[in-house]
Structure formats: structure tokens, C-alpha cells
Structure 1
Amino acid sequence: MKTFSYSEWDGRQSPFSMSKKDVVDKFMENILKGMNPNMSLADMLWNGFPMAGRNFRVMGLAEMIRELEKQKNELFSKYNLENAFDTPMDEVKSLLEREAQTRRREGLERSPSYDELPPGLMEKLNRLKNFDFQNEDSREVFEKWKSREKDILDLYEFYGQYADQFTGEESLDFDQAVELMRRMQALENLQKQMLNGQLSKVDLQQLQQLLGENAEKSMNILLQLPKTLNEEGITDYNRRTGFTMTPRGMRKLGESAFGKIYQHVKKDRQGNQAGDAPQSGEMEPDSSRQYEFGDRMDLDITKTLLKAITKSDVSQGKVQLSHEDIYVREREQLITSTTVILLDLSWSMSWEGRFEAGKKVALALDHYIKTRFPRDKFHVIGFSTEARELTGNALAMAVWDADEPYTNLQGGLRLAMKLIKKSGNRNNRVIVITDGQPTAYYEGEHLYVELPDQEYGISPNAVKATLAEVRKVTAQGMNIETFMLDNNPVLVEFTHTIAKINRGRAVMCMPDDLGNLVFVEEIKRRGGKI
């Protein structure tokens, strides 16, 4: 049993509590874009992220550094240091004049004059270090400036480094110049610490004074990011590899992808009801569970009403029913099927959010099928110049192949057919997600690559070999749905040719619509509620 302890506000606690969900959501969003865990964390640190649950945006290091630079530039353009040493120099001159008057009046040995001393302020003070002052006021003024030796030396160095950059109209006296110097030093130190990744050295109180409360809150959150992800079981860390995804993290990634598509589908198609699913049998006893997106509406009336009644004011004679109260019964899965996603990993998929959309669909379907239909088989094949199956961590960390820019759909179809045959399922669905025509192919065991014959043209040999493979796998019972993420007429024609041969679906769509289109069909096939 969890125990929670609460204490009265005493002014010491931070008034801002980090939303772990927002942190995990942003981390997963970056992984879906093709970043690895280290890149995702670095992106969050550098660019910040919104915390929707608290109507707050975490400032990233880049924004803080820009704001610090902006403040420095504002100081450069507002002030000048032309008169920074006038006050101490004038006071040293005055103290020497008073000392000379006292010595003349008392008939003592004359004191050195202002012009007889070295020109610099610190040099004058050092020359007077062992001088026996007879005028008490002169002695006090000398001691005052001698005690400020560090300020003088620091301002000397600062003046030599930056005086030319201060071009404003407002002149500063010595004390104002020292204050300006300390502020500039604080701004620069913070910048260097952030640029060098030395976040643990950042003075949070000073950060708040310079950039405000939001910056201080943001830095607190940024400092907790690695710990939060580890505590949530999303990542592990070691010195050699940095951050890596845990098995729990990979499951959460699938849930995240599924949830994002669910929200889109729910918004676009709320209320639609699909027909009966051929793979659903009798309802299993004691199999009731809370309704989730994609489930058949086999309502468990008793449990649903009991849940609603327990939180309703029945004295009013009304029962309030919400989405969270609905329970459904699971059916025995009688018929199994194999689903294979062929995900294009060629370089052009990195454009316009295409890869992110495709990867999101792959992870979401992986989560949906494995959690709802555990007897089914699900595979993801990535194809660029060659094709390979993506499982586990390889799927979670999948990214487009920058070094393998060609598109070998033929190889992907071959591998998909092998996996379907291995599963023993006649029921299959092969989903091709691509944005280009074939530019790589096999003849026997030899791999060839072929650029299009002209701009927006085709690679004739690659297309011919791929369509031959489509005919072959169609004859073996493969059902192909092709989702083309480009509206180039050549690609549209190629996609329709695949559909004509296979008698499957050909869908031209934008990346934002991909998840909706794939999942609506998937849920219809299984008799779920859309």
C-alpha cells in the first residue's frame, strides 16, 4: 500500500511540481521522430518542451542562452565606460592636495604630487602604500580605495576587454561600472555553464534574478530529466552507452504511438460502428475489463452499472455514466492472422514528417495487436537498399537510412512472404508505407541499384522486378495495401498498378492522415468500435 505524507507550506518548498507524464510524452515523441534516447534527452534540454498539464512551457538551454546574450547586448548598447575611473582618480588627486596643504602648514617634508606618481590608478595607490599620511581625511580616502584593490584590478581587466563594445550614451561612475561588470560576468558564467553542459554548477538563485522565475523553474525541471526517465522505468544509464530504452520504455513507446493515433481517429470518426469480426468467438467468462479504443462493444452491463452507481449520487435518482465506467467482455480468438508492415527507410522519408508518421503506425499496431490479439503474428520490415525485420529495440530505435538511400520494395515483399509462410496463417495483411518508387532490386541473388531515367521518371528495371514480385506473392495469397505519401503522378500510377495486380488497396495520403487510415481499416477488420 502506498503512503502519502503532506506537510504545511512553510515557504521553503518549490511551488512547482513537475508533470512526469509531459516529460515522458515529449521523450517518446522525439523517439518517434527517429531520435535515440541520448538525442531525445539532448533535444529536450536544448529546446525545452511544453507541459500541457500545467499550462507552462519549459525553457530550453538555447532559449536561456539567447536571453542571456540579449541582455548583454542591451547593456553594450546602453552604457559606456569612458568615465569609469574618474571618481577614484579625482579622489586620489584631492587627497594628495589636502596632504600637501597639511605638510606645508606644519613645515613637514613635501608629499609627492599627483603628476609625479605613475599614471594608472593602481600604480598610484601602490606607490603610496608605505607613505606616512599626516592628513587624516587623506589617509581614510587612501585606505578606502586601497581596500577596493580587487574591484579596481577586475575593472581594469574588464575595461581592457570590453570598453570598445560599450557604445551607449549613458556614462557610468566607478561603482556603477563595477556593478555592470559583475552583472556581465554573471551573464557570461551562466552562458558558459549551459554551453558546456555544467548544469549542476548553475546558481539557481542567480538564474532567477537574471532571467526570472520561469527560467529558474525550467532549470529545475531540466536538471531532473534523467532521474525522472530512470525512475519511470523508461531508460537505463551507464557511462559507456549513455541512456538506453528499457523493455518498459519500449512498451510505453507503443502505448504512446497508439494513443496519439487513437486521439486522431476518435476526433475524426467518433460514433462509427463496425460490423462483426470474423475472428471473434464466444464471450469468455470472467473476462470483463475496462473499455479501450478499438474494442468490440460487448457490454458488461452489470459491471458498467455498478461502476457508475458507486460514484453517482443515487439519492437524486440518477446514474451518471462516463467513458471510464464502461466495461466490455472479451471474446475467444478463434481465427489468427499475420500482419506485416513494410516501412520505407530511404532518406526521402525524413522529409515532411513521413518517417515519423510511418514509425508511429508501426509501433501503434505492434502495441494494439500484441495486447488485444496475442495469438496473432505481427512483424515490421524496414526497407531501403535492402530489407530487414525490425524487432524490439531495433523497431523502437528505427530511423531512416541516410547511408542507404535506395528503395528495395521487392526485397521487403520477399521477406514479408517468408514471415507469412512461417506463421502458418492464411489470413494476412501487408501494409506498405512508402514515398517513392523502387530504385533497388535483385536478379537472382545479386543486388542492383538504379536511379530514375529522368527527373520524376522511373527506374524501369527496378519497377519491373518489383511488379514481378507483386505478382508472385499475390499468387501465394498475400494481401497488400499500399499507402503512398507522395502525390507524384509517376508514383500514383505505380501504386495503382500494385493494387490492380494484387486487388488490394491503393491509398494516396498525407503523413498526418496515415494513422487514421490504417487504423480505421484494422479495427473494421476486427469488428471493433471506431
Structure 2
Amino acid sequence: MTSREWFQYAPWDDGPDPLAPPVDLRAALERLGRDIMDGSSPRSALDELLRRGTDATSGLDELTRRLWERRARIQRRNNLDGTLGEVKELLERALAAERKALFPDPDDDARFREAQLDALPPGTAAAVGDLAAYDWRSPDARADYQRIRDLLGQELMESRFQGMKQALSEVRPEDVARIRAMMTDLNDLLLAHLRGENTDERFAEFMRRHGEFFPENPRTVEELIDALAARAAAAQRMMNSMSESQRAELQGLMSGAFGDPRLAEQVSTLDANLRALRPGEDWTSSARFRGQDPLGLGEGAQAMADLAELDALAEQLAQSYPGARLEDIDLEALARQLGDDAVVDARALAALERELRSQGLLERAADGTLRLSPKALRRLGETALSDVVSGLRAKRGSRETRTAGPAGEPTGASRPWTFGDTEAWDVPRTVGNAVRRAGPGRVRIDVSDVEVVETEQRSRAAVALCVDTSWSMVQDNRWIPMKRTALALHHLVRTRFRGDDLQLITFGRHAAAVDIGELTAMEGVWEQGTNLHHALLLAGRHLRANPDARPVVLVVTDGEPTAHLEPDGEAVFAYPTRPRTLRKTLGEVDRLARLGASLSVFRLGDDERLARFVDIVARRGGGRVVTPDLDGLGPAVVSDYLRSRR
């Protein structure tokens, strides 16, 4: 009887896209590693990666640029005269139609009406107010005046309730009554909440009666207050952005909204309640609009809301506040302002940051700072070694540096076969892989099943890699090639020559033995001194601690020794180099020679004094001098290490 696998399909309801391609961490890690090796902290390197983005994804800087561009476009194209201009135009049209209707009439009533129109105050708001009781003769004039009242009502409602203007495109008396009832109930609800009463049942009843006015469908009274306060604060900021005369005119006009002054009073009460409930909203700022496109009151409030949303998104994209994460970005707001493509980029960046953490490539140190994990360092080392291997092949043909020694001593371990491997197959493990993959029955071996026997030389080596960390290495762009060389050698030893004992030694004013993580994250520091004496002293201690191993010392430097260590531990610096510094440095060279060490110096640059010094080292220590360019440093060091082992 065969077993059946059952699958259940359901609609996707947000969360990570199950069909999205996997995040490419290799390129991201390579960028992180380069920035960290250049002196950035892992946190700064990660922030820089997210700001710049990847080849396929816009970074935070590009998204922020688009936000500011949209913000500037809103202010540059628009002005806030829309409602005032439209009311003024309707008023002039109504007055012209009325005068046209009165002119042919010879009776005194017509002349009296003309006198009333001539006596109207110059301000638009005052004229509209004085005409509230006027009995229009012209049907067209009466219709235009009614449009003024409807327009003011629609704009007033739109400024506090998004979408209301469209819903009130045709205003009937019963619509005005419903709005007035909603406003009364809303203010009662907010006042009760402000007094600290339990308003859950009251809110439910309010939404049952007036839910049609709130398409966003708030689930609690707090959500309702948040939405209303944001909109009301945007309307207030729009009023703040107007000139004093514009603001006075508009406030005067609002009392005529729908021809019902009680509605403007209720809106004023609503604003006061919302200010008390949400004092943290921005009620006081303003913005400068300098364009030609007039915005109505509702459109102006929406523009101010858009500006506030753009500012909030810019802060989220800046990631400058404590505990910031890309998951904090409001994707719905981002889609509203920049479109769906921006959301795709934001999701991709968040996935990249999340995967870097979840894959264990970044970890928290004891002091809370981020650092590259051992897993990340292995991947960087693998990449660095791959580049070195490419350099070796380019110079010497297809030499496979992973083949561990001419003796071919099996280590007891195996590894997956990769293209170019010439080692013997590990048959039991290869067949076992095929059986586990295919299950019982007929077994077919696939390339992915193949494992090869891992070998190494019979002898082991004690290796000291001494790297110059003086300021000149940073200044002359030798810092990253030096670190990549150390990464490549470290990865080679740890993966192919596990019996070897590698010690990394840095030397500036002082020397120190460091692990690969410390060296990778080391920052360049302005410090005078190239203390090769101290570095060779530490190298000698490492060799003597491994008396059964072949001693190998590799030195990477771009300057002659300018410092030495005194017996009391003090580092003495002098330039030009003092004879005592040379004597103590060459004394350590002689001690290493007596240990039988293979000493190689990799000279960077064309300094003549350094060239003379390393020639002396080669003669005294029986070593060799290599003068690679920066691209050839890694291949030169790795090649010399392999030569020294043989």
C-alpha cells in the first residue's frame, strides 16, 4: 500500500510571499564584508547596504528621495485659494444674473433690489452672509447662491471626513439633517470618552447609526479618534498656512455651510474635543504652497495630510530612532504616496535585513553591538579564497589549491564534489546519499550525491601571518587587500589544512595576536610606528609552542621598521629608523632562522629604504621577498604558504 501526501490550498492572507525568490545573501554579505573591512562597524555597514540597496532593489536613500520629490511637487504646484476662488466666482455669476433679471423691470422694487446689491460689503464672506435673506428674482442666480452653500458644506465636511465631498455630490435637505445628527452624536461620544466614561456600547451604537460616514470602519473609539484627529489637525495646519486675510474670509464663509450655521459650530466643537483627546497631534505647524493649481478646503486638508504622511514615512525610512527596523515602515502609506513598486522595494529590503539576522550572519556581541558571525566570516573567507584561486589559475594555469598536498593522506572526512575535483570518490557515502534521496527501489546516482575523499599533507605547519596595520596601509588603499588576504589564508587553513596552526598578528605601534573576526572588523587608526620587532617576537612564541610543526612566517608590510619593544613593554618610535630598532628587529629574524622558519616578506609599494631592509632580512633569515601588486597580494601569500608547506 502506498502512502499519499495531502495538500491544502488556501488564499494568501498577507505575510511573506510564498512564491518570492530566495534572498541573494552572497552579494549582500560581500558588500557588508567590504565595508566592515574598510573600517565601518557592522551596524553602519548594514545601514549603508540598506540605504544604497542592491542591483535589483532601490535602497532607502532612493525611496526617501522620491518622498521628498513628491513633497516638493505638492507644495510647488498648488495653492490654497481653491474654495475662496470658487465661491467668489459663483457669487459674481449670481450677482450678474440677478442684475440682468432686474434691469428691464421698471418698478421700484427692482430699483430697491439693485440698491441692496450695490450696498453689499466688499469682502466675499460678508457679501455671502448679507445675501442669506435675499429673495432672488433670477432662478440661475438662486441656483448659484445655493451652490455656494452646498460647496461650503461639502468642503467643510471633506476637511474633517475624507470622501464626504464625493458622497454629498447631490445635497438634499434630509442629507443635511443626517449630517447634523451625526455630528451631535459624535461630539456627545467624544465628550463622554474625554470624561473617562466607558464608551464601548455607545461607540457600537454610534457606528450602527452612522457607520456610512466612516468607510475606514474603525473598530474602537480610539481608532475613530485617531482617524478624526489626524484629519482635523491637517485641516488646522492648512488654515495656519493661509494668509491672515484668507483665513478670516474662509472662517467667515463656513458659517454659511449648507445654510445652517449650527453645522460650523459643531465642527468647531469637534475640533476642540479632538485637541483635548489628541494633544500630541501637530496642530500648529504650517507649509508654504506656491503653485498655480488651486486647492479646495477638503483638497487642502488632504494635501496637508499627505505632507504629514510623507514626513512620517521619511522618518521611518531614515531608521534613526532607537530600535528602528524596516518592518516599521507603513507599507499602505508608502503605496499611497509612491505606488506599489516602492512597496516591493521596501519588502525586499526588509526581507534582506531579516534574512541576514535569521541566517546567523549577524549576531549581538556582549556589549550589544552587531558583529559578523563565524558563519559570515566563513562565507567571506570562501569568497576571498575563491578570488585567490582565480588569481593563481590566471598566473599558473589550472592549479587546484584545494588539493591538499602531494602525499594525499586521507583525513577520514569527505566533502561534496564540485567541478574540477580530482580526488577519489568516497563510495559508501556517495551511495548512501543516493539511497536516502531516492528511497527504496532502483537507485540512480546524481551529481549532487557524490562526495570525494578529503586529503592533506602528512606534515603540519605552524603559520604566523604578520600584517602591517600602520596608518600608511589605510592611506594608500592597502587596508582591504590585506584583510581579504588574511581571510583567504584563514579559510584555506581551516577548511583544507585543519592540522596547521595559524596565528594572525597585527603590528602598528604595538603588535597583537588577533582572531579573524577582530582583524576583519579592525578600524584604521592614525598611529605612527611599524613595530615589526614586536610582531616577530610574537611569531617566534607561536612557533616555539608548536615544536613538531613546520615553521612558516609570512610578513605583509609597506614600511621599514620604525618602532621596537623595550624590555619593560614600552614601544619606542623613531623616524628615520634608529640603529637600535634595526638591531632588535634583525635579532628576531636571526632567532626565527635558528628555529628553521621559512620567512617570506611581501613588500607593498616602492619605498627604497624598505626595499634595502627586506633584502637584508632575506639574506639574514634565508627567506624570500615578494613584491606583488594589490590584486596579486592574496594569490602571492597563499601560493607562498603552499610552497612553504612542501
| TM-score bin (small chain) | 0.7 to 0.9
1:174 matched to 2:295? The reply is yes
Shift of residue 378, structure 1, vs aligned partner: 1.0
Cα distance, 1:463–1:177 mapped onto 2, change above 3 Å: farther
Cα distance, 1:194–1:467 mapped onto 2, change above 3 Å: same
Q: Is 25-34 or 222-231 further displaced after alignment?
A: 25-34
Residue 596 of structure 2: SS of its match in structure 1? coil
Q: How does 1:319-330 map to 2 (within 5 A)?
A: 327-330=451-454
Cα distance, 1:232–1:267 mapped onto 2, change above 3 Å: farther
Q: Distance in 2 between matches of 1:68 and 1:439?
A: 53
Q: Distance in 2 between matches of 1:149 and 1:321?
A: 68
Shift of residue 81, structure 1, vs aligned partner: 3.5
Q: How does 1:118-157 map to 2 (within 5 A)?
A: 136-149=146-159, 153-157=236-240
Q: Distance in 1 between matches of 2:574 and 2:604?
A: 20
Q: How does 1:89-488 map to 2 (within 5 A)?
A: 89-91=87-89, 93-94=91-92, 97=95, 115=121, 117=123, 136-149=146-159, 153-158=236-241, 162-163=287-288, 166=290, 171-175=292-296, 184-197=307-320, 199-208=326-335, 210-211=337-338, 213-237=340-364, 241-266=368-393, 269-272=396-399, 280=407, 282-283=409-410, 287-291=413-417, 297-300=422-425, 327-331=451-455, 333-351=457-475, 353-391=477-515, 393-400=517-524, 402=525, 404-445=527-568, 447-453=570-576, 462-488=581-607
Q: Distance in 1 between matches of 2:400 and 2:386?
A: 19
In the superposition, the TM-score normalised over structure 2's length comes to: 0.63
Shift of residue 386, structure 1, vs aligned partner: 0.7
Residue 530 of structure 2: SS of its match in structure 1? coil
Cα distance, 1:278–1:61 mapped onto 2, change above 3 Å: closer
Aligned residue identity for 2:416:
Q
The equivalent position to 2:47 in structure 1, one of 42, 46, 68, is: 42
- Counterpart contact for 2:389–2:401, Cα < 8 Å: no
- Counterpart contact for 2:470–2:508, Cα < 8 Å: yes
Q: Distance in 1 between matches of 2:626 and 2:456?
A: 32
Deviations along 1:149-191, one digit per CA (max 9) or x if unpaired, are 5576443444575547x4xxx7212247677656555444332
- Counterpart contact for 2:402–2:496, Cα < 8 Å: no
Shift of residue 360, structure 1, vs aligned partner: 2.0
Aligned residue identity for 1:228:
E
Shift of residue 418, structure 1, vs aligned partner: 0.6
Q: Distance in 2 between matches of 1:62 and 1:460?
A: 54
Cα distance, 1:36–1:144 mapped onto 2, change above 3 Å: closer
- Counterpart contact for 1:452–1:460, Cα < 8 Å: no
- Counterpart contact for 2:504–2:515, Cα < 8 Å: yes
Deviations along 1:376-403, one digit per CA (max 9) or x if unpaired, are 2111111111111102643453333x15
- Which residue in 1 is equivalent to 2:25? 21
- Counterpart contact for 1:234–1:245, Cα < 8 Å: yes
1:495 matched to 2:499? The reply is no
RMSD: 4.7
- Counterpart contact for 1:96–1:138, Cα < 8 Å: no
In the superposition, the TM-score normalised over structure 1's length comes to: 0.74
- Counterpart contact for 2:404–2:457, Cα < 8 Å: no
Shift of residue 359, structure 1, vs aligned partner: 1.8
Q: Distance in 1 between matches of 2:530 and 2:11?
A: 61
- Counterpart contact for 1:417–1:478, Cα < 8 Å: no
Aligned residue identity for 1:172:
D
- Counterpart contact for 2:91–2:148, Cα < 8 Å: no
Query: Considering only CA atoms, is the larger Rg found in Structure 1 or Structure 2?
Result: 2
Deviations along 1:75-127, one digit per CA (max 9) or x if unpaired, are 66x6363965652451574498599989987999979976465x8x7xx69x9
Q: Distance in 1 between matches of 2:502 and 2:452?
A: 25
Q: Distance in 1 between matches of 2:353 and 2:509?
A: 36
Identity of aligned residues (%): 21
Residue 575 of structure 2: SS of its match in structure 1? coil
Aligned residue identity for 1:330:
E
- Counterpart contact for 1:99–1:138, Cα < 8 Å: no
Residue 423 of structure 1: SS of its match in structure 2? coil
- Counterpart contact for 2:490–2:516, Cα < 8 Å: no
Deviations along 1:465-508, one digit per CA (max 9) or x if unpaired, are 42343233323333221122322333333333322322222122
- Counterpart contact for 1:31–1:396, Cα < 8 Å: yes
Q: Distance in 1 between matches of 2:134 and 2:488?
A: 86
Q: Distance in 1 between matches of 2:604 and 2:6?
A: 50
Shift of residue 233, structure 1, vs aligned partner: 2.0
Aligned residue identity for 1:81:
N
Give the number of the structure whose residues are more often strand, by fraction. 1
Q: Distance in 2 between matches of 1:436 and 1:91?
A: 82
Q: Distance in 2 between matches of 1:328 and 1:33?
A: 37
Q: Distance in 2 between matches of 1:450 and 1:308?
A: 60
Aligned residue identity for 1:425:
D
Aligned residue identity for 1:140:
D
Q: Distance in 2 between matches of 1:137 and 1:82?
A: 20
Cα distance, 1:302–1:524 mapped onto 2, change above 3 Å: farther
Aligned residue identity for 1:491:
L
Q: Distance in 1 between matches of 2:403 and 2:53?
A: 46
- Which residue in 1 is equivalent to 2:257? none
Q: Distance in 1 between matches of 2:92 and 2:451?
A: 91
Residue 49 of structure 1: SS of its match in structure 2? coil
Aligned residue identity for 2:64:
I
1:514 matched to 2:633? The reply is yes
